């Protein structure tokens, strides 16, 4: 079968698309990757919540799928909104890489060793909230761009440290530049972080069947809990929100948080269960009852 993959043009996005291409070719399919420039890639001087949230990295690719010019999209799941455009569906989730965040610093210092007033670059409100709660003496400043751009800005001295997803650094072979891997009890990841997800037209059963062997059920269960948590709270780029689920035998354990951007208020919750979506909803409702609703706004 011939499959046309639509991808952003960043090095990380093309690595992920190429990885999927290789796996599908091993299964006997003919695969082409087409790079598509998205709104999020064009408007790099503005915050994501202003240009359309994380969906700004998907819009043009999803339009190409609906138009029939590509058949499959390869996304970092943390960039995919809970609600998909009509006519599209997620069709496979690959086995998850390490979901944790990583700190890169100019002198190799870890998060607790950075000097007072150190400048940390990130545009993620989730990271900002948790960093400020952990080290309110730090100066957390906006930083957008692809992985190469962000690391270059650090090396040029614009920041003392930056925070990036460990999975992306590993996929690009840049994990040796990490000063400290931040455990989930220090910095809770974004829902879906570390997972690659595939999206196709809802009625395209041929493509869905072709990619089905790439689906990793345990990862699918974990991220289903995280995205159910996200769906109840309605968060995204506008609200600091984190969630991480992992399997303990046949039981799924989920940790979640909601906070304010400056880290003055952080509400955390956790739960265990065997139904991923029910678990995600339960933990989210617990947070809402304990004050998260006030942070989320109307």
Catalytically active residues, by annotation: 79
Contacts of 55 (CB under 8 A, 6+ apart): 79, 80, 81
Which ranges of the chain does DSSP label H, i.e. alpha helix?
Answer: 11-26, 39-42, 48-51, 59-67, 125-134, 147-155, 166-171, 205-211, 217-233, 276-287, 293-296
Cβ atoms of 214 and 198 within 8 Å: the answer is: yes
Q: What's the rounded Cα separation, in Å, for the pair 273 and 15?
A: 35
How many C-beta neighbours within 10 Å does residue 59 have? 16
Nearest to 143 by CA among 39, 45, 77, 50: 45
Find the length of the chain: 298
């Amino acid at each position: 079968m011939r499959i046309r993959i639509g991808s952003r043009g960043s090095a990380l996005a093309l690595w992920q698309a190429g990885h999927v291409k290789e796996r599908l070719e091993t299964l006997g399919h003919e695969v082409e990757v087409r790079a598509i420039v998205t709104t999020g890639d064009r408007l790099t001087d503005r915050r994501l919540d202003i240009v359309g949230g994380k969906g700004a990295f998907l819009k043009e690719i999803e339009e190409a799928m609906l138009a029939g010019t590509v058949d499959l999209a390869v996304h970092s799941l943390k960039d995919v909104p809970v609600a998909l455009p009509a006519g599209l569906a997620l069709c496979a989730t690959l086995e998850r890489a390490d979901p944790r965040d990583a700190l890169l610093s100019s002198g190799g210092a870890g998060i607790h060793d950075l000097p007072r007033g150190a400048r940390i670059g990130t545009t993620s409100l989730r990271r900002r909230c948790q960093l400020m709660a952990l080290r309110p003496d730090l100066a957390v400043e906006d930083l957008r761009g692809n992985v190469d751009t962000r690391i270059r800005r650090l090396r040029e001295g614009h920041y003392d440290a930056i925070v990036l997803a460990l999975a992306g650094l590993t996929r690009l072979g840049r994990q040796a530049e990490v000063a400290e891997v931040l455990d989930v009890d220090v910095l809770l990841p974004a829902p879906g972080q570390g997972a690659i997800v595939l999206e196709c037209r809802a009625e395209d059963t041929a493509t869905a069947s072709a990619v089905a062997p790439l689906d990793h059920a345990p990862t699918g269960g974990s991220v289903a809990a995280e995205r159910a948590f996200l769906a109840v709270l309605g968060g995204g780029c506008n609200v600091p929100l984190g969630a991480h689920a992992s399997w303990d035998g046949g039981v799924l354990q989920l940790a979640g948080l909601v906070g304010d951007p400056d880290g003055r208020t952080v509400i955390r919750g956790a739960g265990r269960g065997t139904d991923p979506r029910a678990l995600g909803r339960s933990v989210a409702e617990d947070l809402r009852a304990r004050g998260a609703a006030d942070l989320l706004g109307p």
